[in-house]
Amino acid sequence: MKKIIAIIALFTILPYSIFGLQDKVFAQEKKREIIRISPFIFNVTLSPNKTYTYEMTIENLLDLPVPVRMNTEDFQVAEDTGDYSFEKNNSNSVTSWIDIEPKEMILNPKEKKDIVITINTPDKISFGGYHGMIFIEPLFPNKAQYSSLLSTKIGALVLANIGSPANGVNPARITSYETPLIIFDQKSFTYDFKVQSNSLYHFTARPFLHVRPLFGQEQKNALEEKLIFPGKTRHWENTTEMTDLAPGFYTAELRVSLGNGVQAVSSHYFVFLPFYILIIAVILVLSGYFIIKKIVVKRNNRKKHHQDLHNKE
């Protein structure tokens, strides 16, 4: 503990020699990493009443010693966005099972050290997915002073599944899927869809967009992968680029890979109408309109002329 206090004092005395002379510099520079960890995610399958041991490597990226502290935190997951809010989680928290050794240590300049993470599962526990966060935090005397320059806290996600999903069971469904009915630019195909978890477990959803013409080869576009927590919904809304689309009718089939060979599938139809085709169509329609109008006017004039001659007779 005395050594840690000494290191903190060092950061108090020599801040400007490390990070610059002006506070204004802090706001202008990109945040600097202090430490690096590996792995970032512990995705583990556990059983009741057992002990599991894992290692995490922490690396000091500075040329000075850095004291660090390790702890765990609960979090809740927001619908659609998947954003984390660090608040108490009473339903599926894993943090009370986790023990970290050591809980504090000093990393010498550019040094790497391993910490041991032990997970002790309770005797009785329900099947499903549990989660928590392990944080590694450098101990600085004045966090506010360095907050604009330093990324001072880094976390590793712990995803624990008790039991495993049954093979062949669909863990999620596509609750909505929208695409434009007509697209004019193949470089900006817009999609919007949601996937809702029906599972007790965590899984990664890997969506693919298959665009298929009436005749010809289909295109396959890989979309962003997202982690879905038990019972939660994730939302995708973006654009993707198609290539070599010919004018015509297409099927846009969304296939979301959910693991274990299981997919959720939904389809939409659209028409690709390039701008030059649209312009040609407008010109043809207007030309046809004026031609027909001219023919009708001539016919009416001819009828009127014959009517006038008949009246004179």
Q: What is the pLDDT of residue 243?
A: 86
Residue 309 has pLDDT above 70, yes or no: no
Ordered domains of the chain (ranges, CATH): 2-162 (2.60.40.10), 172-272 (2.60.40.10)
Q: pLDDT by residue (tens digit) across 245-265?
A: 888 899 999 999 998 888 999
Q: What is the pLDDT of residue 19?
A: 40
Q: How many whole angstroms from its chain centre is CA 193? A: 13
* pLDDT band, residue 18 (cuts 50/70/90): very low
Peptide bond before 213: cis, by omega within 30 degrees of 0? no
Q: What is the pLDDT of residue 21?
A: 32
H or E element in which residue 10 lies: helix 2-13
Rounded to whole angstroms, what are the CA distances from 223 to 178, 207, 226, 237? 15, 5, 9, 10
Least reliable range by pLDDT among 19-28, 70-79, 169-178, 242-251: 19-28
Residues 6+ apart with CB under 8 A from 45: 160, 161, 162, 163, 164
CB 81, CB 235: distance < 8 Å: yes
| Helix, strand, coil tally for the chain in percent (to 5) | 20, 45, 35
CA distance 210 to 267: 9
Paired tokens of 60:
């000091």
Q: pLDDT by residue (tens digit) across 107-126?
A: 999 999 999 999 999 998 88
Residue 234 has pLDDT above 90, yes or no: yes
* pLDDT band, residue 73 (cuts 50/70/90): very high
Q: pLDDT by residue (tens digit) across 186-208?
A: 888 999 999 999 888 889 999 99
Residue 99 has pLDDT above 50, yes or no: yes
Q: What's the whole-model pTM score?
A: 0.71
Mean pLDDT, residues 82-94 taken together = 85
CB 75, CB 90: distance < 8 Å: no
